[in-house]
Structure 1
Amino acid sequence: MTSRRSLRGIGAALAAAALVVSTAAACGSGGAKAQPPAPSTTPAQAAPAGRTEPPVQMPTGPKAHFKFSHNTSGGPIMVTTLKGARSGVTGKVWVWLPPEYKDPRYARSGFPVLTLFTGNTGVNYNFWAHEEVEPIQKTAVQMEKRHKAHPFIMVMPVLQMSTRQDTECSDIPGMPKMGTFLGEDVYAMVRANFRTLPGRDGWGLGGASSGAFCAVKLALEHPAKYRAAMSWAGYFSPEPQAGPRWTPQQMRANSPDETVKKRPDVRLFLLAGDRKLFRADRERVMQFKRLVQAPTTAQVEIQKNGGHYTADLQKLLPDILAWFTRSLKGPVAGS
């Protein structure tokens, strides 16, 4: 398969971009004044008679320690080091809160959550958190102002622990339990710290290339937690070079090609380009689409002259945010 190899040409650039941004943040964070305040865990008061209270799942705690990472034109990015209670994995998670999160009109409302998985190896970085690579926060603010997209909480975890040990977002004996870390521990941390929406209808997963595999895989495995997933230039079965110690049974157990046959009630958005060099991306999407049966749904978008580069993904950000807005519930402003 070519999906991971096709990113190798930009892998160094992505890692360099992440390094440059993190270095700039360390030099210009401005200390404690730049750190966004932690969200309140005070329970919402009862609504007055005759008024409907906006839907909200208040933070359950315990509070994570967030610190300022860096600024984007859409607002600051925070970061925490999460010690997964269920997985035993420790990894960084970046979080962006939309401006509406601190707006008094939304003080009693929960917000939908997008967990975004990076492409390439995702060791100690996530390119969705860096505007120089994927300006999704900037695009989100612009669309929110035009009422074209929900305000989303964006959660951006590391993808794996080592470049020498690709776990494919799975729990494989002898490897870090990244399936549990990404699918359960990160989810629990977000619920513990932020106002979210009750139930699964405010939770979505999205990813690029190797991260796209993770987004679809985890959504299909956890339909009680996640309502929708987006895949850009992804693949749908573990790549042979990813885990030489995997057994055939483990490969099948962690393959979306197999999990989708269980027909979980999940909405999927599958994107790929039509450029000849990356025709394998398009072919994988179309093959996977043929496996989808109700109540699972899949919308396919083939990008004209699109490829497997971040510049192609940038052009699709409005479509991605609009699709998540149609697929997930949004916050409700109070009176």
Structure 2
Amino acid sequence: MSQIITPDDFDFRAYMVETEPQVRVVPAETWRATLIDHVRSGERITGATLPWSKTHDHIRFRPGEVTLWQGINGHGKSELLGQVTLGFGAQGERSCTASFEMKPQNTLKRWLRQTAMNDTPSEKAVHNMFDWSRGKLWLYDQVGSVKPEMVYAVMRYCAEKLKIQHMIIDSLMKCVRGEDDHNGQKDFVDMLCSLSKDLGLHVHLVHHAKKKESEDVKPGKFDAKGSGAIVDQVDQLLTVWRNKKKERQIVMAQRIEDDAARKAKLQELDEMPDSLLICDKNRNGEWEGQIGLWRHAPSLQFTGDNRRMPLDLIGWNA
């Protein structure tokens, strides 16, 4: 079963204590084995992948890095990241989700639909998900604001005791005092970057994008709320954008009285993605761009094309 970690069940005080500063001056040959491995493998792309095969040559998630997931409220960034987390589990990688905006039960309900691939999961689907999740998924149970010191402690505990590889923090604004606390935001993200490197974690930090003149305008790298230093510090910036203009056009097209014209317009619109995953920063990779995704509403999954076939994330058909 997915293990739920709460402040009441675990004593995190030992993990809040800062260790003595480590000596960072080391011989160059410390990296001999790393460089030999690089020579042998060349520029082979490494790291955990997203669930959609068309992304595998473009975006990866490596130990010691931080990815900022940004989006406008209601555009599906947490839902998409939940599916991504299940995808990490399918690759045998361990993750802990610390959602300070949603109770673990609600996260689990979303995961249940995503793993069952429908909106009416059976009891068997519940057992299958929990059996599969053992050793793959953990949840940190604390809703509301949280002190950076606690996030630091939970990350250390997860990495050192549970061997977690992916830490999902949803969201940044629950970990600092407010949108105008730019120094607090900078210090918190700096802590995440340093700790991810020390622990070999990949940190996924959810953040809200500024509201532009219209939700039809895609947010960019300068649209993260708060301090501009946030984007400067992280390794990757991924934006989730929902195509609400398409949704409005579908409603209008459904009102067309002529059957042939209505079907033609709806087919034309169906070719357009429901959402975009946009990469505006990729420090350790060369690719930047956008990828179209289509949403399968019953399963709450995002799919790679307009057939909207949900992915078997936990091996139902294995």
Name the TM-score, length of structure 2 as normaliser: 0.35
Structure index of larger Rg? 2
RCO (CA 8 Å, sep 6+): is it higher in 1 or 2? Answer: 2
